[in-house]
Structure 1
Amino acid sequence: MNLHKLILINNACYKVGRTIIPKGIMVHSTGANNPYLKRYVGPDDGLLGKNPYNNHWNQDKPDGRQVCVHGFIGKLADGSIATYQTLPWNMRGWHCGSGSKGSGNDTHIGFEICEDGLTDPTYFSAVYKEAVELCVYLCKQFNLTEKDIICHSEGYKLGIASNHGDVMHWFPKHGKSMDTFRADVKKLLDTENASAPDEPKTLYRVQVGAYSEKANAEVLLKKLRVAGFADAFIKYDK
């Protein structure tokens, strides 16, 4: 994952500053043919490129809407794929609607995948992989599993998001679905958990006494070994 951070501090959502305890992740896509991150994330940090229209989301109400997400996945100016975190992960976003149909804002981290024309398999494969890796990162950070991941259209069916079709208008065009996405997240989670190093063992040294006579020390040593303290030994101080 190529993760960067540019928090949208001028967005009204950030100014409200409400926090949540993340219970899940909601995957969105932007619904517009523009795969470049600079359309939504700004100002230019030297990697994004300049947005000549200045219509990115780092303003009070972008496009006149109360909208904000925790992150975006798309292209940098050089065409490479990156993820940008745009809100603190535990801040309440405005990503799945308002009122009762937007209750997922209270429970879910939401990120957008920048859409292209929906037919380029190379671009889709790259952002799909980046999205899987972002979800693994968030699952590990907030003790979630692949079962806690949904898309916007699934959120609508659950009654926690507005009536949008993303991402199921796009993923099936490339042989993917949210079920395959969750399976790929689980596979990577399992791989990373299996390869994680064991926690180092902590050893506690206990000193039980000091004797001027070696014979007395050896008597205690024998008692300790009989009791199961196989590592007990005599240390002679000079």
Structure 2
Amino acid sequence: MSTNLYCTKNDCFKENKKLGSVEYLIVHSPAVYPVIIRAQSGAGGGWYKRWNKPGVEKLVHGFIDDTGVYNFAPFTMSCWHIGNGWGNAHCIGYELCELETAAEFDRVWDNAVAHYAALCKQFGLTADKVIGHYEAHKKGIASNHSDPEPYFRRFGKSMTDFRAAVQTRLSGQANDKPAPAVTKTYNPWAHGTVCNLTPGDTLNVRTKPDADAARASIWPELGAGNEVDVIEAYENGWVKINIQGTIAYVNATYLKITGQATAEPAGYTEWAGMASGLGGSRLNVRTGPGTGHGLLSACSKLGEGNMVSVIGESGGWYQVRISNPTIGTHIGWVSKNYIKEV
């Protein structure tokens, strides 16, 4: 899934030169680290704000960061992204935002692998047609740049690894791995709390106990302090969890498992809520249902009118999912007194 943020004020976009046949899919990185810039946030207001104006002599088809895929131009358009007339006319290219932590990189990687695999399917290409900017230069169809290899090397990856991941996604192998052996079954279920995350990071929630599996659609990630019920542990270091009736999987490294759940939690019908009646104040978002729990580090407060998805409740508290293109998706708890149904 991607979001269109077309750079209509960009000179390349206004030129509107048509793309020819698609021969290669180019992987870029902007080489600005340690400056952190996402598609819509960061230094300068994000890449969209930086590039959606006249006088910017470059344009890619989009940017990919840890929050998603953002299209800056349609696939029908020839973009100025590899400094070569033939290459620009026959290649689609995306920039992978250079972020700080391994968890952020993993989300960029996951989003990019899925998107490039989808592009391969759309244009009838094989994974070997996915190449880095530096590889395009070696083929004589691009300017002399080293990206994205320096970015990938910082996290122990390479373009060879990226192509292999795309091929795995294309062949469906990521979904065909045998399930790892169960090492422990919690009966009744144990209690788990998300921990050991770098400040600001979130924990990916997968559809299978494997890092290559797709992220869960309802609960794609959890924040520090979020609580779940733990059902099983596996020999590969993953655990099966229950989140308000949804079964999913996380890496046990980031979960403190304590106690036992007294009963299987009941399902909950999700509904839309809005922060209201704050009287100029802001609403605390906590890691659990009560003032004894700390503030959620990734999203500690809500303002009047902010929207949430209410996904559970306990006593005088609602469990809410907060989604924002800038901060991503996070789960926390807020007082019932300040949330109204919309």
Task: Give CA-to-partner distance per residue, 1:102-126, whole Å, 9 cap, x none.
Answer: 5311111011011134xx2111111
**Greater than 2 Å deviation, 4+ residue runs:** 50-55
Rate the CA distance shift 1:122–1:53 in 2: closer, same or farther, 3 A: closer
Matched residue, 1:43: none
The aligned runs of 1:83-94 (5 Å cut-off) are 83-94=69-80
Higher-strand-fraction structure: 2
Matched residue, 1:136: 117
Unaligned runs of 5+ in 1: 41-49, 76-80, 196-238
Task: Give CA-to-partner distance per residue, 1:51-85, whole Å, 9 cap, x none.
Answer: 299952111223xxx1000010125xxxxx11101
Matches of 1:14 and 1:54, distance apart in 2: 13
1:107 aligns with 2:79: no
| Contact 2:134-2:146 at 8 Å conserved across structures | yes
Rate the CA distance shift 1:102–1:54 in 2: closer, same or farther, 3 A: closer
The aligned runs of 1:5-44 (5 Å cut-off) are 5-20=4-19, 21-32=21-32, 33-38=35-40
The higher radius of gyration belongs to 1
Matches of 2:49 and 2:86, distance apart in 1: 27
Higher-helix-fraction structure: 1
- Find the partner of 2:139 among 142, 149, 158: 158
Tell me the TM-score normalised to structure 1 length: 0.66
The 3-state SS of whatever aligns with 1:38 is coil
Task: Give CA-to-partner distance per residue, 1:8-32, whole Å, 9 cap, x none.
Answer: 1111111111112211100000111
Amino acid at match of 2:30: T
Matched residue, 1:44: none
- Find the partner of 2:127 among 129, 133, 146: 146
Matched residue, 1:127: 108
Matched residue, 2:151: 170
- Percent identity of paired positions between Structure 1 and Structure 2: 35
Number of residue-to-residue matches in the alignment: 173
Task: Give CA-to-partner distance per residue, 1:194-235, whole Å, 9 cap, x none.
Answer: 99xxxxxxxxxxxxxxxxxxxxxxxxxxxxxxxxxxxxxxxx
Matches of 1:132 and 1:109, distance apart in 2: 15
